[in-house]
Amino acid sequence: MSKYRITLNGKSYEMDVELMDGSTPVTPVAKAAPALVQAPAAAPKASTPVAATAGSTVAPMPGTILKVSVNVGDAVKAGDSIVVLEAMKMENDITAPKDGVVKTIAVAKGQTVAKGDVLFEVE
């Protein structure tokens, strides 16, 4: 019988191992236990990519939409936060480029976007 100590996730366990076939015990090789990872919930996706127009604001980088602050038809001023885009663990305010009315919002909270995807349009 051989005695072993295993540490898993910072907690130590002692165990006795008995070889049933009478062979000589081998030196154990430490291997990491596979991590249990819960799959993230599916993020909503746009059904059809929206074509960019003159008044469109596009994603400056790939990321995930954390917040949409306005609705279609809302009046906005230049610099107002419209969408919060998380990229590389940083939150980026995507703001209205000019005074106007929100014509379209092409994204939803939780959606993943690529660089150049249309986010919203202000007229």
pLDDT, tens only, 53-72? 667 899 999 999 999 999 99
Quick one: which of 105, 87, 95 has its CA closest to 50? 105
Which amino acid belongs to residue 94? I
> Is pLDDT above 60 for 87?
yes
Asked if 52 contacts 80 with a C-beta cutoff of 8 angstroms, the reply is no
The mean pLDDT value of the chain amounts to 80
